[in-house]
Amino acid sequence: MSTANGLNLTLKVWRQKNDKVKGQMETYQVSDISPDSSFLEMMDILNEKLINEGGDPVAFDHDCREGICGSCSMYINGEAHGPGREITTCQLHMREFKNGETIYIEPWRAKAFPVIKDLVVDRGAFDRIMAAGGFVSVNTSGNTQDANAIPIPKADADKAFDAATCIGCGACVASCKNSSAMLFVSAKVSQFALLPQGKVEAKERVLNMVQQMDDEGFGNCSNTGACEVECPKGISLDNIARMNREYLSASFTADKK
């Protein structure tokens, strides 16, 4: 049954079987989409239609559907997570689009994020960067000090918390004209560097994480600020400046050769 304000849309979607073959944009029509539905619900409707027609549904990452997990990595109409600020794709609603509009839906584009299938990319590069130093080493002897017993200035705690809200979605890489991962890595470096627990390993951490970032093939930061604008969690460029300071000072003072 069609509704009075249902949207009829043309979708141009990137289809790619796997990372070995070339992909291409395919055109689909969806009709009578409720403006109140989320973008992912619209994708579900498209997939139901494709399955009913015997076709291959569009593969896309999704999990929590409430803006926390960072899975839904779609480049919609030329922007990461589509129009709107500080939202993920699951928080994007169809009321942002007009009836009859053509919507381009593409995966994150970066050499370091190879396409697995359609709109799903492998963001394992972020995991390897985290494994290179994005943690605080603690022993498990049972005598770990209570974090609340360590005085931390409120301003530092707030900045660390803001940095830690990064969900590692990769929108920064997708939006950056250079596919740079600086906003993600700087958020992870900052959330530890600002806290006393993280300061112990701060120098080695930043050196190792930046090294891993470079090894993964991300581009360099041109300070365009696109990442900050498109970040669903509003991670600030302050973090990139902090990582630059941390990295340069660690380069000259760390024991690591």
Partner 1 sequence: MSWLKQTFTSSIGRKFAMALSALFLVIFLLQHFIINFTSVLSEKTFNEISHFMGTNVLVQFALQPVLIFGVIYHFVMGFVLEIKNRNARAIKYAMNKGSENSTWFSRNMIYSGFVILLFLCLHFYDFWIPEISHKYIEVLPEDSTRYFGEMVEKFHDPLRVGLYALSFVFLSLHLMHGFQSAFQSVGARHSKYTPAIKKLGTLYAIIIPAGFIFIALYHHLTAL
By CB under 8 A, residue 20 contacts partner 1:
no
Which lies closer to partner 1 via its Cβ, residue 7 or residue 172?
172
| 120, 107 Cβ separation under 8 angstroms | yes
CB of 236 to partner 1, least distance (A): 9
Question: What distances in angstroms separate CA 119 from CA 36, 107, 201, one per listed residue?
Answer: 23, 4, 37
- Please classify residue 244 by burial: count the beta carbons closer than 10 Å to its beta carbon, then call 0-12 exposed, 13-18 middle and 19+ buried: middle
CB of 252 to partner 1, least distance (A): 8
Question: What distances in angstroms separate CA 121 from CA 19, 97, 112, 256, one per listed residue?
Answer: 9, 25, 9, 34
Strand partners, 104: 12
Which lies closer to partner 1 via its Cβ, residue 165 or residue 224?
224
Provide the 8-state DSSP code for 38: B
By CB under 8 A, residue 242 contacts partner 1:
yes
Which lies closer to partner 1 via its Cβ, residue 99 or residue 220?
220
CB of 189 to partner 1, least distance (A): 11
CB of 133 to partner 1, least distance (A): 14
Binders of partner 1 among residues 202 to 221 (CB under 8 A) are: 210-211, 213-214, 217-221
By CB under 8 A, residue 178 contacts partner 1:
yes
Q: What is the 3-state secondary structure (H, E, C) of 138-167?
A: CCCCCCCCCHHHCCCCHHHHHHHHHHHCCC
Question: What distances in angstroms separate CA 31 from CA 28, 39, 99, 238, one per listed residue?
Answer: 10, 14, 9, 44
Binders of partner 1 among residues 158 to 177 (CB under 8 A) are: 175, 177
By CB under 8 A, residue 179 contacts partner 1:
yes
CB of 89 to partner 1, least distance (A): 15
Identify the residue among 3, 18, 29, 222 touching partner 1 (CB under 8 A).
Answer: 222
Provide the 8-state DSSP code for 15: E
Quote the strand ranges of 34-136, DSSP E.
Answer: 75-76, 79-80, 102-106, 115-117, 120-121
> Which of 39-47, 121-129, 148-156, 223-231 is the region at the interface with partner 1 (rule: CB under 8 A)?
223-231
Identify the residue among 79, 81, 170, 208 touching partner 1 (CB under 8 A).
Answer: 79
Distance CA 138, CA 144 (A): 7
What residue ranges bind partner 1 (CB under 8 A)? 12, 14, 25, 75, 77-79, 83, 104, 106, 109-112, 175, 177-180, 182, 210-211, 213-214, 217-226, 229-230, 237-238, 240-245, 247-248, 251-252, 256-257
